[in-house]
Amino acid sequence: STTVVMVAHNNAQSMREHMPNILVQNVYDYEIIVVDYHSVDDTNFVIQVCSADYPNLKCISMQNDVNFFQGKKYPLSMGIRSATGEVVLLTDPDCEPIHYSWVQHMAEPFTNSNIQMVLGVTRLRTKHNLLGALQQYHNMAYSCSFLSSALMGHPYTGMGTNMALRRSFFFERDGFINHYIEPAGADDIFVNRNATKTNTAVCLDPKAAVTTEGAFSFFTWRYQRRQMYSTRCYYSMMQRLRLVLRPLMVMVFYLACVAMFLLPSVPWVIPVALLLLKVVWQIVCVGYAQSLFALRNYHWFAPLLELYFVFSNTFLSIISLHPKRCNP
């Protein structure tokens, strides 16, 4: 059996909009546990109304703030502990499955007894503006990075908006105990410390994808990205170096092309040909990947969007190399 677990904090409106698709999954023996953590809006009322028609929806109400650590790791642990299903599917109140067979597809890899975690695809709902384009490209590039790495046998992170794990495995590995002090990274750090080539699977079926709300302002989005990168100091040094090298190599490539173009001894055809080759290959690759994230025509702007992230993400990645930013 499968249990869907999420933590809600003042998410009444999100749950009104997105819970229906979670409640009508085509799986018979599954339950939904919502941990109502210290909400002061109508979150608890929405859960009660829904549970009247759907008895498989259960609520754990934590009205008193007994969480001595910041973040959602403690309430999420309470939700996983209360689950009756061996397979636990993690998501958030603002997430919505795009298909009624989401639970079925995410739980399917667990038929292999060696699989302990499954990483899924998360799409973004954003406005059609510059901020939305930046968020969509970043989400696609970030997701493709960790999903492809997991497919090649080197899983290093996941997204708690669409991720499944075995309940027994979670407690065998002490859950979030070793990094409770870090507010972020309930999904990120746990996957990084426990995922291996043999115990982690990837579900790329479009019917297993969920959508989640993007940030409404640039400052909120920047804060979210800084939170995401702040947990990388829990990674091994080799993993951190690998994640820094990619944007650095892209930056070096562009600088080398500019340098060759300015040198009189180098024919201008060479740097131009190299740039065209990279741009065409990138457009083709992004065009292929964007179908998984339900995007259109982003591949034409991929080289320009990449330039923005080459500089911004390189800076955030280099900061994560500092060994004293957290205490693994």
- In DSSP terms, 30 is beta-bridged to 2
* Contact (CB, 8 A) for 156 and 200: no
SS (H, E, C) the chain: CEEEEEEECCCHHHHHHHHHHHHCCCCCCEEEEEEEECCCCCHHHHHHHHHHHCCCEEEEEECCCCCCCCCCHHHHHHHHHHCCCCEEEECCCCCEECCCCHHHHHHHHHHCCCCCEEECCEEEECCCCHHHHHHHHHHHHHHHHHHHHHHCCCCCCCCCCCEEEEHHHHHHCCCCHHHCCCCCCCCHHHHHHHCCCCCEEECCCHHHCEEEECCCCHHHHHHHHHHHHHHHHHCCHHHHHHHHHHHHHHHHHHHHHHHHHHCCCCCCHHHHHHHHHHHHHHHHHHHHHHHHHCCCCHHHHHHHHHHHHHHHHHHHHHHHCCCCCCCC
Q: Angle at which helices 130-151 and 269-289 pack, to 10 degrees?
A: 80
pLDDT of residue 328: 46
pLDDT of residue 158: 94
- In DSSP terms, 119 is beta-bridged to 163, 202
pLDDT of residue 108: 96
Question: What is the C-alpha to C-alpha distance for residues 318 and 316, in angstroms, rounded to an integer?
Answer: 6
Q: How far apart are the first and last CA of the chain?
A: 34
Residue with tokens 């790329």: 204
Question: What is the C-alpha to C-alpha distance for residues 90 and 5, in angstroms, rounded to an integer?
Answer: 5
pLDDT of residue 4: 97
C-alpha closest to that of 203 among 134, 155, 136 = 155
Residue with tokens 């973040």: 71
Q: Across the 328 residues of the chain, what is the mean pLDDT of every consecutive 10-residue run?
A: 94 92 91 92 91 92 67 90 96 95 96 96 93 93 94 94 96 87 83 95 96 92 83 85 84 91 90 94 92 88 87 66 52
Question: What is the C-alpha to C-alpha distance for residues 65 and 32, in angstroms, rounded to an integer?
Answer: 23
**Which tokens hold the place of 106?**
């995410």
**Which tokens hold the place of 55?**
């008895």
pLDDT of residue 228: 82
pLDDT of residue 317: 62
pLDDT of residue 84: 94
Question: What is the C-alpha to C-alpha distance for residues 78 and 6, in angstroms, rounded to an integer?
Answer: 10
Which backbone phi and psi does 283 adopt, to 5 degrees?
Answer: -60, -40
The CB density around residue 59, as the number of other CB atoms within 10 Å, is 17
* Contact (CB, 8 A) for 192 and 235: yes
pLDDT of residue 316: 64
The CB density around residue 262, as the number of other CB atoms within 10 Å, is 10
Q: Would the pTM of this model clear 0.85, i.e. be above it?
A: yes
